[in-house]
Structure 1
Amino acid sequence: MDGIDTYWLWLIAGLALALLEMIVPGVYLIWLAMAALATAVLAFVSDPPIAMQVIAWVSLSLIFAFSAKRWLRDRPIVSSDPLLNNRAGRLVGEIALVTQAIESGAGRVKVGDSEWIARGADAAEGTRVRITGSRGAELLVEPVALLGGEGAA
Structure 2
Amino acid sequence: MIEGIDPGWLWLIGGVILLIAEVIAPGFFLVFIGAAAVATGLFTMLFDLGTVPQLALFALYALLAVLIGRRFYANRNADSSDPLLNDRAGRLIGKVVTVVEAVDEHGGRVRVGDSEWSARGGPATTGQRVRIVSVDGNCLNVEVERTLPSA
TM-score normalised per structure 2:
0.70
SS in 2 for 1:122: coil
Matched length: 146
Please give the alpha-carbon distance, in whole angstroms, between the structure 1 residues aligned to 2:89 and 2:123: 21
Please give the alpha-carbon distance, in whole angstroms, between the structure 2 residues aligned to 1:112 and 1:8: 64
Report how far residue 68 of structure 1 moved.
Answer: 4.1
Partner amino acid, structure 2, of 1:48: L
Aligned position for 2:37: 36
Please give the alpha-carbon distance, in whole angstroms, between the structure 2 residues aligned to 1:100 and 1:21: 55
Identity in percent = 40
Q: CA RMSD in A?
A: 3.1
Tell me: CA distance 1:57–1:106, structure 2 relative to 1, closer, same or farther (3 Å): farther
Trace 1:2-151 onto structure 2 (pairs within 5 A): 2-21=3-22, 23-25=25-27, 27-69=28-70, 77-80=77-80, 81-146=82-147
Native 8 Å contact 1:129 1:141 kept in 2 = yes
Larger Rg: 2
Partner amino acid, structure 1, of 2:77: I
Q: Unaligned stretches of 5+ in structure 1? A: 149-153
Report how far residue 56 of structure 1 moved.
Answer: 1.8
Tell me: CA distance 1:17–1:77, structure 2 relative to 1, closer, same or farther (3 Å): farther
Report how far residue 99 of structure 1 moved.
Answer: 3.2
Native 8 Å contact 2:104 2:120 kept in 1 = no
Q: Unaligned stretches of 5+ in structure 2? A: none
TM-score normalised per structure 1:
0.69
Tell me: CA distance 1:107–1:19, structure 2 relative to 1, closer, same or farther (3 Å): farther
